[in-house]
Structure 1
Amino acid sequence: MTDPAPDTAPEPASEPAGTPIRPRHRNPLGNLLRGALIGIVETVPGVSGGTVALVTGIYDELIDAGHHLGAAARRLLTGPDRREAIRDHLRAVPWVLVLPVLVGMAAAVLTVAGPIAGLVEGHPQLMRAAFFGLVLGSVLVPMRLSGGSWRAPELLLVALGLLAGLAVTSLPTTGLEPSPWIIAPAAAVAVCALVLPGVSGSFILLSLGLYQPTLQAVDDRDLGYLAWFGLWAVVGLVVIVKLMRHLLTRHHRGTMVVLAGVMIGALRSLWPWQDAAGALRGPGGDWPLLLAIAALGVLAVQLLVLVESRQAAGPDSTAAPDGTRSA
């Protein structure tokens, strides 16, 4: 009896490390806006920047870019052939995508972190309803990218992902002192939200009691805090990017199925009706308004997916069987 075929084609072994990536998203302004969207949602507990990257179609490209940047840094430190290897890896990075996304993220975080935190604190139910709809609409993206037609193994993976999402979003809130040795692991874990759709870095910081101190550091331009946080965020990002690139290359279908489950489970943190401790409550008398807001969130995501799909069907790209596209 032969082994079942893998859920995705293996990575070509003959492709040299320096082969330039042909970025599918070549519009710098569009990539700037994508980065701004990622930066905005990263300031909201319960919403993942990775979800936005997935919805806007740049998820795989960012993972691949992160892999080459990490590989270049590793070659710089360990060799061999530092100059040639670094040049090859940096040439393979789609800078027309990466640079605008980074600029957009930084600009959004520095300008809207305070106002977003104020809205979340002042209108928690309305904000949770809006983002509940956005994330719920986003769940359809990994479902589509997985190829559909889920069988028993995929349903099991969905269940595992759902339980993982529930576990992460059910963490009790603690009040840790923002010392350097607390900030370091918190930053390394929270940055996973840039890579894992459904996992919110802001929610992790909120659970650790570091959400407000971190936003305050951004508002106050506390360079010492931000530099230390950023250093350990990079460490965490390198590790998680390497893992996700392997999973997306070797087990694309299964990975997308699990991510769909994680996103569904993570909706727990965005349920509009919660008490001060985060315990879930039944819908109140304002449910028609909040339901309408959530529905608008779902529609907004589907409109964004439709726009992205039409761009994918442009003259310079072709649709792939799993719903992605290639340049």
Structure 2
Amino acid sequence: MIRPGIFFRGMAMGAADVVPGVSGGTLALITGIYEELIDTLGGMTPRLLGVWRREGFAAFWRQGNFAFLVTLLAGIFTSIALLARLITWLLATHPIPVWAFFSGLILASIFMVVAPLQQRGPVQGLAWLVGTVIAVMIALAPGLQGGGSALVFFLSGMVAICAMILPGISGSFILLLLGMYQPVLEAVKSADLPLLLAFLSGCALGLLSFVHILKWTLHRFHDTVMALLAGFMAGSLVKLWPWRVADASGLEDQWFTPTGYAVATGDSAQTLFAASTALIAVALVWLLHRLAPGQNGKA
């Protein structure tokens, strides 16, 4: 049975994945479907084929939770197709309020992730610190110049998809660091099927390999893993700071205070507008959390 709302959660994930610095995994976590997504992907094993042979396609479909997965993927791809141009335009024309919105989204999400944890000892604190440091290091890492063969696209897909499933670490930003963000976009625009197939093959292999590790650790060390993921989200705020200016290559940023930004660029810092969009994001996270599965009995 398809639960109402999964498609729209997928749309939210797709919209986030378009933006370098924002993770679709974060939206899955906010909306309460992250662990179901990991369990579903982690269940994609050869055993499912045995279920199909013994019990038929209907049992195979139910066992694999494909109604959930197909609906979610439909939402993700619909969002990318419909919203990619709009989000790109907003980032180009109104970057400060857009980045402030995403910053508010992530900041509020951290509290939503940490609040339910039952274990909050030194181990969880260390996990949070490690996640934060790793995300900050990724955010500050210098980018590379990309492009290349099908093998490069394949390996880039493997790396990016692992980041994409983690809250706080953006797969599109990893592509940017690898120098592959623009080449992948160009391959999509030009419908370069060999390169796109290589990239998607890398994504599939990377996802099916990594998700089993993530599923195993979530089931055995749930609160520690969630603290680590919250750290990833906290560290990603460095990359989402609204008042920053990219260098000529677009690979590195210089950070400013709102006043410093206005002085350096001659543009308005839009402080009140940014604060408003951040508060809207906080309210949206609260609403999504209230509507998430398990919060009010509806899914």
**Shorter-normalised TM range:** 0.7 to 0.9
Q: Does 1:54 align with 2:38?
A: no
1:216–1:108 CA distance, 2 compared to 1 (3 A):
farther
Q: Percent identity?
A: 33
1:186–1:43 CA distance, 2 compared to 1 (3 A):
same
Q: Does 1:31 align with 2:2?
A: no
* SS of 1:275 mapped into structure 2: strand
Please, which of 211, 223, 227 is the counterpart of residue 257 of structure 1?
Answer: 227
The answer for unaligned runs of 5 or more in structure 2 is 247-251, 260-268
Q: Name the CA distance, whole Å, in 1 between partners of 2:285 and 2:48.
A: 40
TM-superposed deviation, 1:292:
2.0
Q: TM-score, normalised by structure 1?
A: 0.79
Q: How many pairs align?
A: 284
Q: TM-score, normalised by structure 2?
A: 0.86
One-letter identity of the residue aligned with 2:91 = V
Aligned position for 1:68:
43
Q: Name the CA distance, whole Å, in 1 between partners of 2:137 and 2:183.
A: 24
Aligned position for 1:313:
296
Q: Name the CA distance, whole Å, in 2 between partners of 1:117 and 1:180.
A: 26
Q: Name the CA distance, whole Å, in 2 between partners of 1:54 and 1:75.
A: 26
1:286–1:112 CA distance, 2 compared to 1 (3 A):
closer
Alignment of 1:59-138 (within 5 A): 59-69=34-44, 71-72=45-46, 83-84=53-54, 91-138=62-109
Q: Does 1:229 align with 2:213?
A: no
Question: Given that residues 48 and 194 in structure 1 are in contact (C-alpha distance below 8 angstroms), is that contact kept between their aligned partners in structure 2?
Answer: yes
Aligned position for 2:186:
216
Question: Given that residues 155 and 199 in structure 2 are in contact (C-alpha distance below 8 angstroms), is that contact kept between their aligned partners in structure 1?
Answer: no
TM-superposed deviation, 1:209:
2.1
CA RMSD of aligned residues (A): 2.5
Q: Name the CA distance, whole Å, in 1 between partners of 2:211 and 2:56.
A: 18
Question: Given that residues 9 and 75 in structure 2 are in contact (C-alpha distance below 8 angstroms), is that contact kept between their aligned partners in structure 1?
Answer: yes
Alignment of 1:280-295 (within 5 A): 280-284=255-259, 285-295=269-279
1:313–1:296 CA distance, 2 compared to 1 (3 A):
closer
One-letter identity of the residue aligned with 2:38 = I
Q: Name the CA distance, whole Å, in 1 between partners of 2:69 and 2:224.
A: 27
Question: Given that residues 273 and 281 in structure 1 are in contact (C-alpha distance below 8 angstroms), is that contact kept between their aligned partners in structure 2?
Answer: yes
One-letter identity of the residue aligned with 2:72 = V
Aligned position for 1:42:
17
**Greater helix share, 1 or 2?**
2
1:172-197 CA-partner distances (Å, limit 9, x unpaired): 12211243222122111111234211
Moved more, 29-38 or 241-250: 29-38
Q: Name the CA distance, whole Å, in 2 between partners of 1:159 and 1:86.
A: 47
The answer for unaligned runs of 5 or more in structure 1 is 1-22, 318-327
